[in-house]
Amino acid sequence: MILLFSSSYRRQQMNLGRTVFAQLLDYLPSYEFQVCVDRYRGNRYIKNFSCGDQFLCLVFAQLTYRESLRDIEACLRTQQSKLYRMGWRGSICRNTLAHANEVRDWRIYADFAHLLIGIARKLYRDESFEVEFAEAIYVLDSTSIDLCLSLFRWASFRRGRSSLKVHTQLDLRGSIPINVYLTGGHVHDVNFLDQLRLEAGAFYLFDRAYVDFARLYAITQACAFFITRAKKNYQFNRHTSRPVDRSTGLRCDQMVRLSGPLSTRRYPAPLRRVAYYHAEKKLRLVFLTNHLLLPALTIAQLYRQRWQVELFFRWIKQHLRIEAFYGTSENAVKTQVWVALSVYVLVAIVKRRLGLDLSLYQILQILSVTIFEKSPILEGFSDFVDRPTNDDLCMQLSLFDL
């Protein structure tokens, strides 16, 4: 008798005896990682602890919330017999890992993170969100991570203060960070516009910190579109007005041109000014955009999606190790941040590849407690119960039981 097994069953049989961590590594392109290492000669003169070993240590630290190099070393050494099959080839030592974070080029892990981002974007290409829209929509913003000035002097930006600023371009389809720019706190947000590779037809959403009319005109010349909030002190002349439905919150929809002597030279093209009143917050918002045909209410709804980048920043700060660092040098900090972003994108890839109906937070929590288990990776997710069963509820004692 010939038995025909399903692909999921065969995959589970192949993964018997392998740890969840080893199965997770199957979703990482190993050849492309080696290309990134060779590009910057990461393994040159290295005999024992390779860039791959360093990367695995930092991924393990992110997945299991390790707080220090000593913590990483202690946890991995307790599983010494499993490390070879999990991918490690060198011995784990905190001094070796600290030296690797200090001298291995952080661009290795930045380039590899961008490779993972490219994979994730293809998987989430058809992801839907609140506004029905066919074009690509990106949100630009930054978040600051406070650092100790005495330890991180390279990131000082004010007297007595030091911080790392994470400038991010977020793709709303899947909340994938497609472009990240790490600087000290002294770099203004608007400089991030110079780092973008503008896509024709794409929309870029950002707040007033990015309003620089010369840079905005560069977006227009690239046949891309932007939506931002207007500053209070800009000067303009109104040319035409369109009727609006005030019951939707809209207050005006105008075609304007800048009238300031400097702004006129920097942005000579017409702009669209849309005013919207937020009834719940009792706040009047004025938007500027170079898209002249989109419905005014859609412009307001699109800008509302800018809040997704704030949720992204809050998520990575709460669930990844990017506020407490394993090293104090600029190279060590950037390496850790890029590996953390790689873990975020890896979890997003696993979610889509396995077809999981779980949040990224739930997937990360399950991986953190099952990482050393030798069971099919899908098994841990299938056993997850989001709510307590009725049997558990029945066993709870009532406060007023006698």
Mark whether 285 and 334 lie in a shared domain: no
Whose CA is closest to 132, among 250, 249, 305? 305
pLDDT in tens, 65-101: 999 999 999 999 988 888 888 888 888 899 999 999 9
pLDDT, position 380: 81
What torsion do the CA atoms of 228, 174, 113, 340 make, to the nearest 10 degrees?
90
Domain membership flag for residue 116: no
Q: Would you say residue 365 lies in a domain? A: yes
Tell me how far apart the alpha carbons of residues 137 and 298 are, in angstroms, rounded to a whole number: 13
Q: Residue 59 domain-assigned?
A: yes
291 and 362, same domain (yes or no): no
Tens digit of each residue's pLDDT (9 = 90 or more) over 163-182: 999 999 999 998 999 999 99
- Roughly what angle, to the nearest 10 degrees, separates helices 94-103 and 69-77? 130
pLDDT for res 135: 84
43 and 97 belong to one structural domain? yes
28, part of any domain:
yes
**Same domain? 16 vs 91:** yes
* 347 inside domain: yes
Q: Which residue, 190, 194, 195, is CA-closest to 211?
A: 190
36-65 pLDDT per residue, tens: 999 999 999 888 899 999 999 999 999 999
Q: Residue 10: what pLDDT?
A: 44
What confidence score (pLDDT) does residue 400 get?
A: 46
The boundaries of the domain holding residue 79 are 7-109+330-382
Q: Which of 143, 197, 208 is nearest to 171 (CA)?
A: 197
Q: Could you give the CA distance from residue 61 to residue 321 in angstroms, rounded to a whole number?
A: 8
In-domain check, residue 340: yes
Q: Which two tokens stand for residue 311?
A: 């949720």
Report yes or no on 104 lying in a domain. yes
Low-confidence ranges of the chain (pLDDT < 70): 1-16, 130, 383-402
The predicted structure's pLDDT at residue 387: 58
Q: Which residues of 238-251 are buried (b: 16+ CB within 10 A; e: fewer)?
A: eeeeeebeeeebbe
144 close to 165: Cβ distance less than 8 angstroms: yes
Q: Is residue 183 helix, strand or coil?
A: strand
Position 82 in a domain: yes
CATH number at residue 258: 2.20.25
Number of domains in the chain: 2
The pTM is what? 0.88
Which pLDDT value is given to residue 399?
45
Same domain, 23 and 98: yes
